[in-house]
Chains A and B, each alone.
Chain A
Amino acid sequence: MTNKPLTLAEKVWNDHLVVKGKDGSPDLLYIDLHLVHEVTSPQAFDGLRLAGRPVRRTDLTIATEDHNTPTWDIDKPIADPVSRTQIEALRHNAAEFGVRIHSLGDAEQGIVHVVGPQLGLTMPGLTVVCGDSHTSTHGAFGALAMGIGTSEVEHVLATQTLPLKPFKTMAINVEGTLRPGVTAKDIILAVIAKIGTGGGQGYVLEYRGSAIRALSMEARMTICNMSIEAGARAGMVAPDQITYDYLEGRPHAPIGADWDAAVAYWNTLPTDEGAKFDTEVFLDANTLDPFVTWGTNPGQGVSLNENVPNPDDISDPNEKAAALRALEYMDLKAGTPMKEIAVNTVFLGSCTNSRIEDLRAAAAIIEGQKKAEGVRFMVVPGSARVRLQAEAEGLDKIFKDFGAEWRFAGCSMCLGMNPDQLAPGERAASTSNRNFEGRQGKGARTHLVSPLVAAATAIRGTLSSPADLLEQNAGAN
C-alpha cells in the first residue's frame, strides 16, 4: 500500500470495509450506528419477522418517535389513525426485538437527528444510517452519515452492514468571517443556490475553510443537514477541538483511557494535505448576507436584500420553467423586494434549526419586542431535552411573553404529518429544510430562513433580518 493522501470521507469508508466489491459490485460497509423512527421502520421489522431474523446488533440501534408525534396534548391519544398506528408499531417492534426506544413523554424523545448527537452517540469517524434523508446531519462530527430506504433499514437491522456504491468527493470551501446576523443556515442556502439541488448528486461533500472551522457543532449540523437538498449522498466536517469539546461528558461519549484512544484516532481523520477532491467549490463568507428562498425548492434562494428574481433572466429553459411555476405557486411577482413579503406564520423548528443555540439566538432577538399583529409564531424544540434546557434558561418565558406557541418536541410543521400544518395559501418563514409544494400543508407557501431571520420576521411581519430591526429602532429615535 502506498500512502496516497486521502480525504476524510475516504478514510471513514476504508475503515469500515467488510468486503471489497469485485467487478463493479458494491462494497460491503459496516454500520456503527443505526437510528430508527416510526415512519420508515415498520415494514423493515415486519420483514425480519417474516424471515425469522433477529436484529443483529441491538446495542448499535436506537429508536425515537418524531415524525408523527403531536406537539400539544402529548399525554392524550394520537387522533390520526395512521400516525397512531405507526407509533404503536414502533413501540411494539422495539419491545419485540429489544431495541432501545425513546417514546413521547421521555426526556430523550425528539427528532432522530437531534437525539443522536445530544446523547453523544454520534461521533467522528462513524458510519451512521437512518431511514431518513436528513441523516446527513451527523456528518458534522466527521461521521459518514447517510439516509437509507426501508429495505435497507431491514438490511442493516439484520446484518449491521450495507452494500454501498463508491462516491465522488466535493470540497465546499468557505473562507472568511461571517458578518453579524449571518449564520450557518445562510451559508448552506447560498451553497445550494450555487450548485443547485442536483449539484451534489453522487458526491460526499466536505465543508472546509476558515468560516466552517469557526462554527459551533450545532451550526455545523445545520449545514450538513441540508447537504441532501443539494442532492448529495452525505456532508461532512472534519473533527477538531470544537467537536471534542461538544462530545466530552455526553452520556455515551467515551471516558478515561477510551476517550484518549478515541481522540487519538479522530485526530487521524481530517483530509490529508494534498488529497484530491473530484470537485471543488468556493464561497466567500465575508460578503454573505442572510439568505432566503423565494421558490419551491431549496436552490431557489436569494440574499434577503435582493428582489424576487425574474424568470426571463434565467437562461436555462428548464430552470426558467421551474421558476415560472414556482412564482405562481408562491403567488409572488418578479421584482418584489424579498423584504416586502408578508407571512402568516413563523416556524422555528426541524432537524435543521431546533437546537438550543437556535432557540437562544431567536430568543435574544425577540426579547422585549412585540410580535407583529396577526402573525403566528410556533416554536418547536428538536427534542424533549432541548425543551427542558430552554426552560431551565428561561427561554420559554421569553417566547411566551412574545406571544409565541411553546410546543413539545418533534418534526411538527417541517412536514406536517401531525396536525401542525399551514392552511392552503398561507405563507410561512420556516427554519426547516424543504420548501416543496405542499410540504407544510396543502397549498402552503414556505420561505426557508435562518432562526435569526425567523425571529426578526416575527417582529416585523415581513421577511426581515436582525439588521432591519436596528434600522427600525434607529429610525424611531
Chain B
Amino acid sequence: MEKFEIFTGVGVPLRRSNVDTDQIIPAVYLKRITKTGFEDALFSAWRNDPEFVLNQEPYKAGQVLVAGPDFGTGSSREHAVWALRDYGFKAVFSSKFADIFRGNSGKQGLVAGEISEEDTEKLWAALEANPGAEITVNLIEQTATIGELSVHFDIDEYTKWRLLEGLDDIGLTLRDEQAITDFEAKRPAWMPKTLPAKH
C-alpha cells in the first residue's frame, strides 16, 4: 500500500445521500476472482444515465469524491472500496460514513474524511462553479482545499497513522517479521510439511 500524505486530483460532487454499497457496486460483480479491475463496476447502474456526474467530461477523471451523508451503508463488501480505488479515487468526503466502509477504506489506502454538512455544501458549490477543479487533500494537516477554500476533515488517529505509513493489515503484521522468524526457528522438526510432496 502506498503512503498517503498530500494528494491533488479532480473533485467530483456527488449530490446524493445514503449511497449504499449496492449502489457503489452491485452484487453481480462479486463473482469475479480478482481484487482489481472493478473500475467498470463503480456506480454501474447510475453510469447508464448520461446525466450522471461521472459521465460528464470534466468529472470523468475524478479522484476525490464529495458525497452526501451516510456513504457506504449496507452490505459489508470490500468490493465497494476496490471499485472506488480502481476507478482512480484516492479520497472520499462525506458528513457521515458507515463504520465498515470506513474501516475497509483505511485498509486499502483510501482516505475517508468526515466533513461537516456545511462544508460539504461549500465544496459542492466550488466544484460545480468550476467543473474539473482540483482538490488538494492534505492528510497531515487534515484539510481539503480548492483554491481559496479550505475545509477541515476528521479521521481517526490510528487510520491516519496507517495511511501515512502506507500499512495494510499484512504490512502491519510484517513489522513483527523478526518475531515470526524467531518463532519459526524454534518449531520442532516433526511438525508437518506439505512440501516436498511425499508422493
Contacts and interface: CB of A to CB of B under 8 A. Distances in A.
Nearest to B169: A155
A163 interface: yes
A18 B176 contact: yes
Given A82-B31, A121-B194, A252-B193, A28 B176 contact: yes
Contact of A151 (B78, B187, B199): B78
B3 to A, nearest CB: 14
A113 to B, nearest CB: 15
A155 B183 contact: no
Interface stretch (B6-14, B33-41, B135-143): B33-41
A43 B176 contact: no
A261 interface: yes
A199 interface: no
A268 interface: no
A151 B197 contact: no
Contact of A43 (B33, B107, B194): B33
Given A51-B168, A159-B180, A28 B173 contact: yes
A163 B176 CA distance: 12
Interface residues of B, number: 30
Interface string B95-108: 00000000000010
A33 B192 CA distance: 8
Contact of B174 (A50, A59, A158, A254): A158
B173 A161 contact: yes
Interface in B175-197: 176, 179-180, 183-184, 187-195, 197
Interface in A127-159: 151, 154-155, 158-159
Contacts of B33: 42-43, 46, 85-86, 89
Given A46-B33, A89-B33, A160 B193 contact: no
Q: Secondary structure of the B side of the interface?
A: loop
A51 B170 contact: yes
A58 B170 contact: no
B174 A159 contact: yes
Contacts of A100: 194-195, 197
B151 interface: no
A443 to B, nearest CB: 20
B126 interface: no
Interface string B65-109: 000000000000010000000000000000000000000000100
Nearest to B191: A32
A251 interface: yes
A16 B189 CA distance: 15
B122 to A, nearest CB: 36
Nearest to A81: B31
B1 interface: yes
B192 A121 contact: yes
Nearest to A82: B31
Given A43-B35, A158-B174, A258 B193 contact: no
Nearest to A253: B192
Interface string B27-52: 00001011110000000000000000
Contacts of A123: 191-192
Nearest to B176: A19
Contact of B190 (A28, A61, A261): A261
A43 B190 contact: no
Contacts of B195: 58-59, 100
B163 to A, nearest CB: 16
A60 interface: yes
A262 interface: yes
A47 interface: yes
A405 to B, nearest CB: 29
Interface in A17-59: 18-19, 28, 30, 32-33, 42-43, 46-47, 50-51, 53, 58-59
Contacts of A33: 192, 194
A121 B192 CA distance: 6
Contact of A251 (B168, B180, B198): B198
Given A33-B194, A53-B170, A159-B174, 13 more contacts: A18-B180, A30-B180, A30-B184, A42-B33, A58-B195, A82-B31, A123-B192, A158-B173, A159-B180, A161-B176, A163-B173, A261-B189, A261-B190
22 contacts: A18-B176, A28-B176, A32-B187, A46-B34, A46-B36, A47-B35, A58-B194, A60-B192, A82-B31, A85-B33, A121-B194, A123-B192, A126-B191, A151-B169, A154-B170, A155-B169, A158-B170, A159-B173, A251-B198, A252-B193, A258-B190, A261-B190
Smallest CB-CB A-B distances: 7 pairs: A42-B33, A258-B190, A254-B190, A59-B195, A62-B194, A46-B35, A262-B190
